[in-house]
Amino acid sequence: MNVLTWTPDQRYLIFADPKGTLWRVSITGGAREPLGVSVPPRVQGLNLQPDGRGLYFTALEDSSPAELWVLEDFLPGVSTR
């Protein structure tokens, strides 16, 4: 299961914790930062679009119908240049 991914500028890792909260952490150190997004705890295939403007993943729940979510422009301070 891939539950982490790099930002396009390769300065941060985005990951989901076991409770389903999305975070980012700098490769230079420091505290992790919450991204303000919580998802069901069973996340797979976490990926950012190459331009850094979109995130996609699969979240599994036992008794929910399938849903498709689009998250845009939520990453704090990520430069796409």
Give the residue-averaged pLDDT of 18-23: 84
Residue range 32-46: average pLDDT?
79
Helix (H, G, I), strand (E, B) or coil at 28: coil
Average confidence score pLDDT of the chain: 78
Question: What does the pLDDT read at residue 64?
Answer: 66
Token pair, residue 9, equals: 């500028």
| Contact present, 43 and 59 (Cβ < 8 Å) | yes
Note the pLDDT tens digit of each residue in 55-74: 777 777 666 666 777 777 76
Question: Taking the model in full, what pTM does it have?
Answer: 0.66
Cβ distance 48 to 8 under 8 Å?
A: yes
Say yes or no to pLDDT of 48 above 70.
yes
